[in-house]
Amino acid sequence: MGLGSDSLPVKISLFDVDTYLADSMQFHLEYILRLFPKSGVHYLMPTFRGEAVDHRHLSQFYHSECEIEGDLHYVMNLVDRYIKFLVSEILRECRDSIFAITKDVSHLESFIDRKIPIITFEEACTILENEIDSLEYNDEHHFYVLTDVGEKKLMEHFEGVVWVKNYPCKSVPFYQRFSTDHLFAYNADLLLGIGETVGCGERCETYEEVVENMNYLQVDASEYSWYLEMKKTRPMKSSGFGLGVERLIAWILKCDDVRKVQLISRENGIDYLP
């Protein structure tokens, strides 16, 4: 995926054909959205990462992804309502079970009616400028990224939850909409629990925008011919989000290690039964 991508696909051989298991179905959702533009499209299923597991990342995790017609502001509002609906229903159905584990559900009760603060990446950097290990600088491409320490500090600063939007263009994939001066992208992360739990963004609307972003990030356009053709023949202003289900569950259960909330353990290179 080039500069801005933060995940490796998992290569397998399926009926003697090299096949890649990815961590997102977003490109397919964009395609399907053009068939059902008014209703939007959504799925919930396992997705895959080629990197090693740690307390924040799984080799295989459940991904709730959605693509809708509209801009970044619209999809952020959708995520807000979606998460609050889930929390309300989970509390209604499972309050006693959760309390037996956490001894406290106040973080869920207060979340339902709370207005989630929204800051820009630039504002986040200002807040974190004196916090050690909170920001990491990419010397080759000259941009900052938030570390897990930085995400934790921001959540502490905003009492548990915050939206961070408009990350540097070079830190996000080519398909996101960029500002005309290439200073920031139209994207946002919801920081909750162990860190980024939902990522969302507004997509490039036109073929020309995608090509410009590819050139800027030095992405080989020949590998995405069908995607470019879709943008050329069916331009659309769309946005989408991806929710890491295990990360949401970890926050609900006040767990600081996402590996502990897997339904069935999975780790690349290890033979698990079942």
Q: Is 40 left (phi over 0), alpha (psi -120 to 50) or beta?
A: left
Task: Retrieve residue 199's tokens.
Answer: 């990522």
Task: Retrieve residue 265's tokens.
Answer: 């353990």
What whole-number distance in Å separates Cα of residue 164 and Cα of residue 144? Answer: 14
Confidence of residue 270 (pLDDT cuts 50, 70, 90): confident
Residue 6 has pLDDT above 80, yes or no: no
Residue 7's pLDDT is 73
Contact 6, 167 (CB under 8 A): no
Residue 231's pLDDT is 98
Residue 211's pLDDT is 98
6 or 115, higher pLDDT: 115
Peptide bond into 274 cis (omega under 30): yes
Span 221-228, average pLDDT: 96
What whole-number distance in Å separates Cα of residue 140 and Cα of residue 157? Answer: 30
Span 167-180, average pLDDT: 97
Span 204-226, average pLDDT: 97
- CATH number of the structural domain 21-261: 3.30.930.10
1 or 234, higher pLDDT: 234
What whole-number distance in Å separates Cα of residue 24 and Cα of residue 64? Answer: 9
Output DSSP code: residue 195: E
pLDDT tens digits along 59-77: 999 999 999 999 999 999 9
Say how many residues make up the chain: 274
Task: Retrieve residue 224's tokens.
Answer: 């995405």
Say how many C-beta atoms besides its own lie within 10 A of residue 186's C-beta. Answer: 23
pLDDT tens digits along 75-114: 999 999 999 999 999 999 999 999 999 999 999 999 999 9
Residue 4's pLDDT is 55
Residue 130's pLDDT is 94
Task: Retrieve residue 190's tokens.
Answer: 């919801």
Residue 3 has pLDDT above 70, yes or no: no
Residue 9's pLDDT is 87
Contacts of 91 (CB under 8 A, 6+ apart): 98, 105, 108, 109, 112
Q: Where are the beta strands (DSSP E) in 38-194?
A: 41-48, 60-69, 118-120, 135-138, 143-146, 161-165, 187-192
Out of 12-16, 28-32, 224-228, pick the least confident: 12-16
What are the residue boundaries of the structural domains of the chain, listed by start? 21-261
What whole-number distance in Å separates Cα of residue 75 and Cα of residue 207? Answer: 22
Say how many C-beta atoms besides its own lie within 10 A of residue 30's C-beta. Answer: 20
pLDDT tens digits along 137-157: 999 999 999 999 999 999 999
Contact 75, 68 (CB under 8 A): yes
Residue 171 has pLDDT above 90, yes or no: yes
Residue 238 has pLDDT above 60, yes or no: yes
What whole-number distance in Å separates Cα of residue 7 and Cα of residue 147? Answer: 16
